[in-house]
Every structure is written in C-alpha cells, then in structure tokens.
Amino acid sequence: MSQPAPSQSVGPLYRSESQKPTATVSTKLEHDNVHILPQTPQLIALLTMIRDKETNRADFIFYSNRIIRLLVEEGLNHLPVVSQTVATPVPGEKYAGVRFEGKICGVSIMRAGESMEQGLRDCCRSVRIGKILIQRDEETSQPKLFYDKLPEDISERWCLLLDPMLATGGSALMAVEVLIKRGVPEDHILFLNLIASPEGAVNFAQRFPKVRVVTAFVDRGLNEKNYIVPGLGDFGDRFYTM
Ligand code: PRP
Ligand code: URA
C-alpha cells in the first residue's frame, strides 16, 4: 500500500541546494479540501523529534504541542471572516480589517485528540469543547463509538475536529457522522490532524469532500496492523502514558 517517500532539500533560503540536507517530506494529495502545512525546516525538525522512538515523554509532549500550535494557527485561516473597520488611537485614522464570522467550538476524538485542546484554547480564549470517545479495536482496526458530549448549539457553530492521527480514517469518519447527525453542516467542519496516511486521507476526503482537512504531514502508508508508516507509533500512549 505504501507509496515511495518523497524527499526534498530542507534548510534556510540563504543556503545553496548543495548545502542543505535532504529530508522526507509530506506526500502530496490531489484533493482541494486537504491542506498540508508548508514543509518548512522548523516543521520537519519538530516532526523529526516526535517520530524519534528515543524521544522521552516530556519532549514528545513539548514538540507535539509546538506542531499542534502551527496546525491551530493555520486552521483558523480556513474560517470565514467579514470586514471590520476600526478607529485607531491616532486622531482621524481608521484601519480596514476583518473579524471572524460566527461561533466556533472544538471537538476532540478521545483520547489522543484531547492533546490538541490546549493548543486550541491558547488561540481561542474560552472556546467550547465537545468530546467524542471513539476507540479503534486493536485486532480489527474498526472504530467503536462509546460516548459523545457536545455543546447544545453545536449545529450553529463551526467545528474544529481534533485528532493527531488519521490512519484508516475510520475514527475520523465516525466522528464526522456524529457531528452531521447533530446538525452540523459538513462544510462547517474543519479537521486538524498531525499525521495522515495517504489512504486514510483520500478515503476521508472522498466520503466528506466538504470537510476541510489541515494536516502537518501525509505519510508513506499503513503497515499490516494499520499503523501509519513511518509514523510515530501510538500517539495517545506516547503523550499520556509511556
Ligand atoms: C488512534 C488515533 C485515532 C485513530 C486513528 O486512536 O488517535 O483516533 O487511532 O486510526 P483510524 O484512522 O484507523 O481510525 P485510538 O483508537 O488508538 O485511541 P487513543 O486515542 O486512546 O490512543
Ligand atoms: N493510532 C496511532 O496512534 N498511531 C497510528 O499509527 C495509528 C493509529
């Protein structure tokens, strides 16, 4: 199932191509609704830290949080804005700007998705957060829905769905179905994700073409246990318990 891993030279612009190291970068996807973060030296360095099996839990949390912050900042660029002109303290001066249109909420797919809540809170003060507990069966990789607790008025909000890993796509698809059943329009859902497999991302994008996906990296593929490769292992275990 794996595609060949693309590689590219990575480093600051002032370095010539021959002075830059080559690194594996994200696989490209042909879906307009899947936005992959720019493969900057900073992002690749952060991903290198969290992929390293020798990285301890404290560092895993720290570097994951840095990527989560990049994802949230980029995700907010995908929400609609309306014009807003303000008067500045300089007499007679105005600034023609924008403000976000509409209310938002975060929805984390437990457990690993909860790791992304703080990054969202850091950018959106007192944001409401709903939870959906979905667990993937270790043998079959099939997702199972256990629980959901969502804001009452969720159908009137833009939903930022949070899960760091998109492997087969089963868990994310199930979470979107829960949101749609609760009246959230498909095009009001934005999925923030750290690492996706190409097959999971394509599966998801084809089933829900109006949901926007913002991901840091599309990896090479899935292994026989439906783990993302090269991946980073079990995100929830590394963030919460290892
Ligand atoms: C992981 C991950 C996703 C899911 C991805 O969660 O956080 O929710 O697997 O796999 P899929 O795309 O094949 O469905 P898991 O169910 O292992 O639970 P956890 O969050 O408690 O680690
Ligand atoms: N869940 C994870 O945490 N990692 C994977 O690679 C797949 C599912």
Ligand number nearest to the C-alpha of 111: 1
pLDDT of residue 23: 97
In whole angstroms, how far apart are CA 221 and each of 114, 135, 166, 167, 202?
24, 21, 11, 8, 12
Peptide bond into 230 cis (omega under 30): yes
Q: Whose CA is nearest to atom 3 of ligand 2?
A: 234
Q: State the CB neighbour count (10 A cutoff) for residue 128.
A: 16
CA pair distance 89, 87, nearest whole angstrom:
7
Measured in Å, residue 80 CA sits from the centre of ligand 2 at: 31
CA pair distance 169, 175, nearest whole angstrom:
10
Question: Which one-letter amino acid corresponds to residue 56?
Answer: N
- Chain center to CA of 177: 18
Measured in Å, residue 136 CA sits from the centre of ligand 1 at: 6
To the query of whether residue 220 is one of the catalytic residues in this protein, the response is no
Q: Name the CA radius of gyration of the chain, rounded.
A: 19
pLDDT of residue 169: 97
In whole angstroms, how far apart are CA 48 and each of 23, 58, 66?
10, 15, 13
CA pair distance 242, 240, nearest whole angstrom:
6
To the query of whether residue 148 is one of the catalytic residues in this protein, the response is no
Kindly state if the Cβ of 47 falls inside 6 Å of ligand 1: no
CA pair distance 45, 222, nearest whole angstrom:
23
List ligand 2's pocket residues with C-beta within 6 A. Answer: 112, 165, 167, 227-228, 231, 234-236
Q: What is the residue-level pLDDT of the chain in tens, covering all 242 positions?
A: 567 889 999 999 999 999 999 999 999 999 999 999 999 999 999 999 999 999 999 999 999 999 999 999 999 999 999 999 999 999 999 999 999 999 999 999 999 999 999 999 999 999 999 999 999 999 999 999 999 999 999 999 999 999 999 999 999 999 999 999 999 999 999 999 999 999 999 999 999 999 999 999 999 999 999 999 999 999 999 999 98
CB 64 within 8 A of CB 58: no
In whole angstroms, how far apart are CA 71 and each of 82, 99, 183?
22, 20, 25
Measured in Å, residue 234 CA sits from the centre of ligand 2 at: 5
Q: What are the structural domains, with CATH classification, of the chain? A: 30-241 (3.40.50.2020)
Catalytic residue among 140, 153, 187, 207: 140
Kindly state if the Cβ of 115 falls inside 6 Å of ligand 1: no
CB 218 within 8 A of CB 36: yes
pLDDT of residue 242: 84
What is this model's ipTM? 0.98
| Ligand 2 probe mutation, 232, 237, 241, 242, most atoms within 8 A of CB | 232
Q: Whose CA is nearest to atom 17 of ligand 1?
A: 136
As a dihedral over the C-alpha atoms of residue 181, residue 187, residue 191, residue 195, rounded to 10 degrees, the angle is 120
The total number of residues shown for the chain amounts to 242
As a dihedral over the C-alpha atoms of residue 72, residue 73, residue 74, residue 79, rounded to 10 degrees, the angle is 80
To the query of whether residue 237 is one of the catalytic residues in this protein, the response is yes
Measured in Å, residue 122 CA sits from the centre of ligand 1 at: 24
